[in-house]
A and B are shown apart, each in its own frame.
Chain A
Amino acid sequence: MKVPVRLTALATLMAAALGAPPAFALDDGATAGRYVFVPNRGSADIAVIDTRTDRLVGRVNVGNVPHQVVVSDTLGKFVASNTKDNTISIVDLATLKTGATMRLDVEPEHMEISPNGWLLAVGNIGAGTVSLISLKENRELARVQGLFEPHNLTFSPDGSLLYVANLGANHVSVIDVAEASVINEIPVADPTALAARGGGDSAEFQGIINVTKTPDGRLGFAVHGESGALAVIDLRTQRRIKSLKLGHLPWRAYATADGRYMLVPNNGDGTVSVISTASLEVVATLPGAEDMTGVNTGWFETTAFVISRGEDKVVVLDLVEMRKVGEIALPQSPETGVVTPDGSKLYIALSGSNRVAVIDTRARKIVTMIEDVGEGPWGTSMGGGAINYCH
């Protein structure tokens, strides 16, 4: 049963005084870092988990097949992308009421919030466009053409540029945000080479998944799957400053919170490349697993947790000793995860069992399973400075 949640601080106090079960309220943006938001593809809602109790405390109905949730701490809102409906839902964090449902282009999937917290960029992957939306006014300001299956989006440190990872191409597109137009294309790899009759089956060719920025926002790491090439881009100047060759079929880069490393799972050979952001060199190649969909780091960035959907587990890597130290079995399709801002707990959505696994990053083990999160939990997101990603 879906329960619409709309509570105020006063109601919370009254409920507590009367001995009723504690009511739920996200009181203000400062506590956004306390809650995990889980889009449920099957039940068309966003589950809200309190990380202090690891309990489900609320649900918000959104559109069909929600894909990702992003949080604006500045404005006290979160946004869910509803790929089946071609809409986004903008929800107030304090009341969990939907303030606006906006129709965009075909398959709005991944989103990114500008550094100042009020501009939202949405990649409409089915149309090759990017929508730029004011979260203050809840209004689409512009729709930029000329992208190639825009997957993930990354703002420059000052928010004036938007870097678009094109899944359907071998280059990163650069959008001038003020002009709302593509002003540059940065090649990451050579044009894809095929030995085939015609152009081959394009559906399974992996271009660029993401431009992953260092925590200081200065550098972006873009990986081209088919060629194994990685480009390091200066996000202030649009210059490609280094190219590297990684393993076979790399997925995308994941940043450690301290900015020291980028970790790239290579799905073609089951390894994980570790790149130093200081030297811009591969410093280690560690064992991974099949079909890796995410990497999270925690406990003072001593540990990396590599999520393997193909083998229903997490591979645990020690980033101090640079070696694999264990595995954690996860039942039924782990998808992506998020680590709390203090680095102590990792929340992973399990789409096949409708649960969220909670892992203690220091002990490197599961501490609890949160049941009945919803149908088909696809990912987890937090505010409060947590590093979020979506596959």
Chain B
Amino acid sequence: MPAAGATDAAVDRLLAAVEAYASPGGALPGRVALRQRCGDDLLCAAVLIADAFDGRATVERVTHPDTDTIRWVNTRPSVRVLGRAADGAALIALDRFGRKAKRELRAALPAAAHVVLDLRANRGGDLDRMLEVAGLFTGRVDNALYLVGRNGRQARAIPATGPISGIARLTVVVGPQTASSAEMLAALLRRHARAEIAGDRTSGKDYLVRIFPVHHDWRLVLPAERVEIPGESLAGGLRPDRPAPELPPQ
């Protein structure tokens, strides 16, 4: 039976999308060079494009969802309730920004004057989901952060998903594994919810990546916009206010 594949027009489309959004360290390979070396092999083209990004780009295998994950039946939990500290503080770990992270966190937050939010295992995720979580503590904040890239400087707001009342004190615990949108969350909460950051210096990943589907099983992940939070510095990692409190092991 005849099988049909992608044409070299698909390589052109991939290159055009990359040129529109990504910020390479060196020169991107041209269309002619890509066609000569790769023909219509998109995966080959993706690898060559990734080489232009000084090690900051990757070609990754895609994790495909099963039927129940697609249809919202299965979602890995984002939140773990760790109990209470000796002083009565509610201890909650936010390990990822999953599809229902905002909903889970809202349900997990107790009527406690002091909340300790543990982000030590959170390696980041979707920027919009992180902003939704931030809103639970801050309420709406306009111009909360800026995305700086090929398309200029774009302001992003924290949406009005909160604030949840009754939280008088917020401590955010971070560490070297706390990365990207997780460290951005910590910075936003310090800036707009009077949170105290405790623990060790964070990862220091202050830029977004953009996802470019290449093949059913592969995708190209490229650095794109840099994130700026007024009043905070993410480069080199977020500096905590004090050491971490005693917490249950992760």
Q: Using a CB-CB cutoff of 8 Å, which residues 339-372 of chain A contact chain B?
A: none
Closest to B178 in A: A197
Contact of A199 among B5, B6, B96, B221 (CB under 8 A): B221
Q: Which residues from B are CB-within-8-Å of A126? A: 64
Q: Which of A4-12, A25-33, A49-57, A176-184 contacts B (4 or more CB under 8 A)?
A: A176-184
List A141-188 residues whose CB lies under 8 Å from chain B: 141-149, 151, 166-171, 179-182, 185, 187
Distance A180 CA – B13 CA, assembled complex (angstroms): 20
- Whether A380 sits at the interface, judged by CB under 8 Å, is no
Of B76, B99, B224, which one neighbours A193 at CB under 8 angstroms?
A: B224
Contact with A along B144-183 (1 / 0, CB 8 A): 0000000000000000000000000000000000011100
Q: CB within 8 A of B180: which of A83, A145, A195?
A: A195
Name which of A93-101, A200-208, A254-262, A314-322 contacts chain B.
A200-208
Interface residue from A129, A167, A197 paired with B203 (Cβ < 8 Å): A197
Judged by a CB distance under 8 angstroms, whether A116 is at the interface is no
Q: How large is the interface on A (under 10, 10 to 19, 20 to 34, 35 or more residues)?
A: 35 or more
CB-CB < 8 A to B224: which residues of A? 193
Q: Does A193 lie within 8 Å of B210, measured CB to CB?
A: yes
Interface size class of B (residues with CB under 8 A): 35 or more
Does residue B10 face the partner (Cβ distance < 8 Å to A)? Answer: yes
Instruction: Check: A310 CB closer than 8 A to any chain B CB.
Output: yes
How far is A249 from B6 in the complex, measured between Cα atoms in Å?
A: 30
Q: Are B21 and A195 in contact (CB under 8 A)?
A: no
Closest Cβ–Cβ distance, residue B16 to chain A (whole Å): 10
Judging by beta carbons under 8 Å apart, are A191 and B2 in contact? no
Q: Quick check: A191 and B98 within 8 Å, CB to CB? A: no
Name 14 A/B residue pairs within 8 A (Cβ), A-sorted: A128-B216, A142-B2, A143-B4, A144-B4, A146-B5, A168-B62, A181-B7, A193-B127, A194-B124, A197-B124, A199-B60, A203-B63, A226-B126, A291-B72
**Which residues of B approach A to under 8 Å, CB–CB?**
1-7, 10, 13, 17, 21, 58, 60, 62-65, 67, 69-73, 75-76, 96, 98-99, 123-128, 130, 132, 179-181, 184, 203, 205, 207-213, 215-217, 219, 221, 224-225, 227
